[in-house]
Amino acid sequence: MGSPTLVWFRQDLRLADHPALRAACERGAVIPVFIWSPEEDGEWLLGGASKWWLHQSLKSLTQELERLESKLVIRRGNALDQLRALVHETKATALFWNRRYEPTILERDKKIEEHFGCDDFAIETFNSHLLLEPWAIQNKSGKPFQVFTPYWKTCLAAIEAAGPGKPIVAPKKIEAPIKWPKSLGLDELELQPKIDWVKGIRENWQPGEQGAQGNLKRFLSETVFNYAETRNRPDVVGTSRLSPHLHFGEISPRQILHAVKMAAEKKFISPAVWRQWQFLTELGWREFAHHLLFHFPHTANEPLRPEFKKFPWHDNPEGLKAWQLGRTGYPIVDAGMRELWHTGWMHNRVRMIVASFLVKDLLLPWHTGAKWFWDTLVDADLANNTLGWQWTAGCGADAAPFFRIFNPVTQGEKFDPKGDYVRRWVPEIARLPDKWLHQPWNAPREILSASRIDLGKTYPEPIVQHSIARDVALEAFQKIKSQETM
């Protein structure tokens, strides 16, 4: 038996389509390793909802490894120090991992590669998190894209030219080392909340590779063929709900792409058609988000468009608190924020609505919302979170123009026409007729009384008047536009 290979698990908590694990298995004995070193993520420490998910995902991965007569060695501390110690303890002669792309992680990983890079030690890294590496796609000038449509067309051409390839099958057995190094117990990482506030999250999700495959199977059997019609409807199960599984690497985008291809072929749908499906375009936005963060790493904290550094944001702690708690008086906004708090997730259309409300109705800075999402979302992803908030604020790449301000009433009426979504998450106004559900402040007094609603007591009055807030936001935007031309 030769010297073992360390496989460093990170955001790739699965066994299938895991190139680092596959390459390590081909060498012989494998020691799977997970290192909890949150301080190395910089200021973007893992939020509470994500830590809960990570615990469950690691538990699932541990069970899958044990089924193959292997183990997950868990360590805590500086990644380089822990890897160095593991190499010393195990006499490992190789270290493999799948790449991550966040700015601070890239910097750290480069130092680790430099430390271990020598003739008698093999170090290899692989792509498992994206369809295409962030540096692999360039515009005709050899620069990064900042507009999505030409970016994704270029990606699709590259994927078609190379072929998406079949995902790597999970190993049937993983060769164990002669001796296992010491490991922490999963509970010692203290990822679980001390007060059980995750009941709703627990009821709505099954973290882990099996949960990811279950969601994918449901989506392909029930939703993918009419995704373009259902994706904007929060009142129906019209999306894949794969985002947290993708973030933690419980499923890979290549597995999803391949599964969609197989589902389309069973329906005799041509590649020219299925490659243009809206669902695959959503995968494209995920790729685009990582492309942008890689090439413009400052955007995690600063706007891509520099003129927005001078935007006259407001300081409104009471408004922020009302938004966070789902107490703004606008039902579709409140429903989204309560769904987020209860399930750790929010429908994408509603994410845009609540983000527009925070940034353009309350004039609160986009990164305030980004940080709240970071702490409460189970799919909190630095690249996607940054892209989404800068898109809404109008300060990022391919962003919605600032003057595109979502009206929370018309958005609710259009995308929750029967009010099922609002009634689920804002039950105190559930008795209102559909006509008034998205604008209870306009309902006649007798309707409110019959619906057992006392505005300002049982449900809040709107904290801002949208038409006035819209004018204030546009005026603020014009100020930075005028400064830009001076």
Q: Where in the chain is the domain with CATH 1.25.40.80?
A: 130-167+209-295
Domain 130-167+209-295, CATH class in plain words: mainly alpha
Domain 5-127, CATH class in plain words: alpha beta
Query: Tens digits of per-residue pLDDT, 339-366?
Result: 999 999 999 999 999 999 999 999 999 9
Q: Where in the chain is the domain with CATH 3.40.50.620?
A: 5-127
Catalytic hit among 89, 124, 127, 285: 285
Query: Tens digits of per-residue pLDDT, 314-345?
Result: 999 999 999 999 999 999 999 999 999 999 99
- The SS3 call for residue 312 is coil
The answer to whether 180 touches 71, Cβ cutoff 8 Å, is yes
Q: How far apart are CA 133 and CA 111, in angstroms?
A: 20
pLDDT band at 186 (very low <50, low <70, confident <90, very high): very high
Whole-model pTM? 0.95
Catalytic hit among 124, 133, 282, 428: 282
> Which residue blocks in 357-398 are alpha helix, DSSP H?
366-376, 382-393
Choose among 366, 403, 368, 420: nearest CA to 388.
366
According to DSSP, residue 461 is labeled: P
Q: Which amino acid is at 355?
A: A
Catalytic hit among 366, 372, 374, 391: 366
Assess whether 180 carries a catalytic annotation.
no
* Element spanning 224, H or E: none
Query: Tens digits of per-residue pLDDT, 131-150?
Result: 999 999 999 999 999 999 99
Q: Is the dihedral of CA 138, 139, 144, 146 positive or negative?
A: negative
* Minimum mean pLDDT range among 47-61, 353-367, 411-425, 472-486: 472-486
Assess whether 313 carries a catalytic annotation.
yes
Q: Where in the chain is the domain with CATH 1.10.579.10?
A: 306-485
Catalytic hit among 53, 389, 391, 436: 389
Q: Is domain 306-485 classified as CATH 1.10.579.10?
A: yes
Report DSSP letters for 392-444, one per residue.
Answer: HHT-STTPPPTT----HHHHHHHHSTT-HHHHHH-GGGTTS-HHHHT-GGGS-
